[in-house]
Amino acid sequence: MPTLYYHHAAGLNHVTAPGHPERPDRLRAIEQGLSAEPFTSLVRVEAPEADLDVVALCHSNEYIDELRHISPKEGMIYLDGDTTMSPGTWEAALRATGGAVAAVDAVMKNKRTNAFVGTRPPGHHAETSRPMGFCFFDSAAIAARYAQRKYGIARACVVDFDVHHGNGSQEIFWSDPSVMYASTHQMPLFPGTGATQERGDQDTVVNAPLRPGNGSREFREAFDIAILPRLEAFAPELIVISAGFDAHWRDPLGSLELREEDFAWVTRKLMEIADKSAEGRIVSVLEGGYDLQGLRDSVAVHVAALMNN
């Protein structure tokens, strides 16, 4: 199975304040991890910019226009206490989404192909009309909706194992019976959503919150009991992964205790379901992960699993 790796140097130009955890060094750490010998067969592709009409599949035109209008030509602006724009942010955000959309094109046209989109800024906190939590455009959600609109996918899913709940993805798909959103995340923690009883209007939202200090056992049980059976019954024709690695034990923004092998395990489990109903089609989109060593090592085992290594 050929695995594609979408990236772009524009992600380094999205500059955040000194000390901000969502920083350009994250991409450098990923590049370091994926430069090792096991990844020489990765197909490396530069992420294109997304068309604005594709971004509008999940975000309002008014929101997109406002973000473009306020994008600074110099310096930095704060959209909230955590989320900033620099002169390079707009292009970086468009390429993050464009990479996810291009990955959908690739996996839909080539059988048994999957992809990892290693771009920033992340996206799963961005709601229809609101940036939030370092996020501007919800690339994972847009990828799922794009696959439906362009390729006639009847059922898509977004599976999110970031330490933070993807409130944006949940909001976007809350009333949609054709997209399942499933998440493990620490609770309580930012953004405060993701309780078990949040199930969506069509019972297609599956939240499996974890407690601070939970580790491999609780994470794997959450998937085995709450998520994987629901996902298998839903029989998605495409799986999009919101691949956040901040549930790693080293990460400064969470209190879960996952190890690299947990990310490899969940990747293989999702691949098994994709093989059954989606012809192996998986698009994995980078979300969080803020300890550079933990991010580097976790991405490496995640991509190695996608490559069947």
Euclidean distance between CA atoms 301 and 309, whole angstroms: 9
How confident is the model over 227-284, as pLDDT tens digits?
999 999 999 999 999 999 999 999 999 999 999 999 999 999 999 999 999 999 999 9
Catalytic residues: 125
State the DSSP code for 225.
I
pLDDT of residue 111: 83
191, 245, 211: which is closest to 22 by C-alpha? 245
Euclidean distance between CA atoms 243 and 229, whole angstroms: 20
Counting every residue written for the chain, the total comes to 309
Q: Are 263 and 304 in contact (CB under 8 A)?
A: no
Which residues of the chain fall short of a pLDDT of 50? none
Domain spans in the chain, listed from the N-terminal domain onward:
3-308
Euclidean distance between CA atoms 66 and 41, whole angstroms: 41
Euclidean distance between CA atoms 125 and 122, whole angstroms: 8
Q: Cα 140 to the chain's mean position, in Å?
A: 5
pLDDT of residue 112: 84
CATH number of 3-308: 3.40.800.20
